Amino acid sequence: MDRRSEIRDFLTTRRARVTPEQAGLKVSPLAGARRVPGLRREEVAQLAGVSLPYYTRLERGDARGATDAVLDAIARALLLDDAERAHLFDLVRAANATAGTAAQSRAPRRQQRPVRPELWNMLEAMSGVPAYIRNGRLDLLAGNTLARALFAPVFDSPARPANSARFTFLDPAAPEFYPDWDAVADQNVATLRAEVGRNPHDKALSDLIGELSTRGDTFSARWARHEVRRHRAGAKRLNHPLVGQLTFTYETMELAADEGLYLIVCGVAPGSRDAETLDLLASWNTTAPTRSPSST
């Protein structure tokens, strides 16, 4: 992916969404109608304490010499949240890679190793809650029996590897499975966008984005917004084909010993209707073996 255009489009879309009032700027009523949405370049430069030519060069994708202090100032001027700030740093870091580093980054990435047996054992031990492991591309790499039952439409979708974004955008069962489909779609795109910043030379990631972009406008329109978010915790609603509607919370934890892998644990309030629904689903799947998605 073109690093310069990524920086340009990200900064442009962030600037367009911030009004002068939100940034704390006073606009004279005599100034007339504004020709651009959000802030002007000179206003961002003023707020960040940099020259207009410098900010203009940066917004055009030329990040040479951009220091952490300058990027922090621009992040504050554009009201970036933590995820957006990290994404800006990732984009600039990739763009400023030396020729040797860039060549090394373009080398074929080592194929992701299978999930370690110790992690499989951990998932199996967590029998009372749905738990699974994914990577930054949203590939579902492993899941315990209850997770595979809860997310059966995703795990059993024909394309391999099982992938949350591919299911959401390409599987006709997704809108029925996710009553809040728009929110889930936005979340998947924002997660993939952040992953592109962290791993710009991941061919499998580029291939996935290309596949999703060329098979419909729904993904492409969201991708063009350059939204990035961290979805570490939250709530999700499903319409399960066997047990009906179920709402659960989830917590996402990055595995320190396995870079790029995340453990997601789902839960429901004890004694709630959702807990009864999950217990029913568990009772129907007590004998199902825990399997890797790649083995199906």
Cα atoms found within 13 Å of the Cα of residue 253, Cβ hemisphere only: 9
CB-based contacts of 118: which residues, under 8 Å, 6+ apart? none
Instruction: Give the predicted TM-score (pTM) of the model.
Output: 0.87
Q: In sequence order, what E strands does the chain have?
A: 131-135, 140-143, 233-240, 244-254, 261-267
* Sign of the alpha-carbon torsion through 139, 144, 150, 153: positive
pLDDT for position 112: 65
Q: What is 75-121 written as a DSSP string?
A: HHHTT--HHHHHHHHHHHHHHT--HHHHHHHHSPPPPPPPPPHHHHH
Give, for all 296 residues of the chain, the pLDDT tens digit: 688 899 999 999 999 999 999 999 887 665 566 777 899 999 999 999 999 999 999 999 999 989 999 999 999 999 999 999 999 999 999 888 743 444 444 444 445 678 999 999 999 999 889 999 999 999 999 999 999 999 999 999 988 889 999 999 999 999 999 999 999 999 999 999 999 999 988 999 999 999 999 987 899 999 999 999 887 899 999 999 999 999 999 999 999 999 999 999 999 999 999 999 999 999 987 654 445 444 44
Q: Which two tokens stand for residue 227?
A: 């939204």
- Residue in 126, 145, 111 with CA at minimum distance from that of residue 253: 126
pLDDT for position 295: 42
pLDDT for position 261: 95
pLDDT for position 113: 72
- Residue in 232, 231, 211, 234 with CA at minimum distance from that of residue 223: 211
Is 113 within 8 Å of 259 (Cβ atoms)?
no
Other C-beta atoms closer than 10 Å to the C-beta of 79 total 15
To 5 degrees, how large is the angle CA 170–CA 201–CA 97? 150
Other C-beta atoms closer than 10 Å to the C-beta of 173 total 13
- Phi then psi for residue 226, to 5 deg, are 60, 35
pLDDT for position 82: 94
